[in-house]
Amino acid sequence: MKSFDEDGKLIIPDKELQKLQEHGLYKKENKIHINHAFCPKGHELIVPDNELIDGFPSIKLWLKGEIGNELVFISPVLNNLNRIGGEIFSKGNKLKVCCPECGSRMPVLGPCECQWNGEYMMLSLDKNPENQNAVCFCDVWGCPKGDVRLAGEVISEYMRGYQM
Ligand SMILES: [Zn+2]
Ligand SMILES: [Zn+2]
């Protein structure tokens, strides 16, 4: 079975999708997106009045860099790099990814393979972060892995790496 389409995007079979829906993933017009994301203290990062990206309320985050801090809205669609804001940052800036409500930093899943020593920051899909149901993205501005992706996918990538 093909796991990726022509653009290299992940194809998730319908049965699996049903299962994913129980975990907070939704599909609309072939886009898989999240509806909820929480900081480690349980603040909701996706609220209906967030900027819309790709037709969905985006994920609001407080990004802190050496040059300054800015509120940035990132696409809730998996494998999509669209963002609003962050013009002060340049490619390769490593950022602290924080909750706009309480300033808590998002937990680290593990290293990104990028040249800037990025790390994957996790966003919990459940209010209770102990459920470990999460998406993640690289904390370096401009990294191609800065799109929201399933934490489980990244973990299996690590496992494949260890087996080689
Ligand atoms: Zn918070
Ligand atoms: Zn990276």
Say what the pLDDT of residue 1 is.
52
Q: Which ligand has the shortest distance to the CA of 116? A: 2
Q: Which of 60, 63, 61, 65 is nearest to 93 (CA)?
A: 65
Centre of ligand 1 from the C-alpha of residue 47, in Å: 13
Residue 145 CA to residue 69 CA, distance in Å, equals 21
Say what the pLDDT of residue 85 is.
97
Centre of ligand 1 from the C-alpha of residue 103, in Å: 6
Centre of ligand 2 from the C-alpha of residue 69, in Å: 19
Say what the pLDDT of residue 76 is.
97
126: its two tokens:
């459940």
Say what the pLDDT of residue 2 is.
61
Centre of ligand 1 from the C-alpha of residue 98, in Å: 8
The vertex-158 CA angle with 65 and 107, nearest 5°, equals 35
37: its two tokens:
């994301």
Ligand 1 is a single-atom ion; what residues have CB below 5 A from it? Answer: 39, 41, 43, 99, 101-102, 104
Coil, strand or helix at 149: strand
pTM, whole model, 2 decimals? 0.86
Q: How many other CB atoms are found less than 10 A from the CB of residue 42?
A: 15
Residue 7 in contact with residue 31, Cβ under 8 Å? no
Say what the pLDDT of residue 35 is.
92
Q: Which ligand has the shortest distance to the CA of 129? A: 1
Mean confidence (pLDDT) of the chain: 90
Centre of ligand 2 from the C-alpha of residue 94, in Å: 9
Residues of the chain with pLDDT under 50: none
Centre of ligand 2 from the C-alpha of residue 114, in Å: 4
Coil, strand or helix at 12: coil
Residue 57 CA to residue 73 CA, distance in Å, equals 9
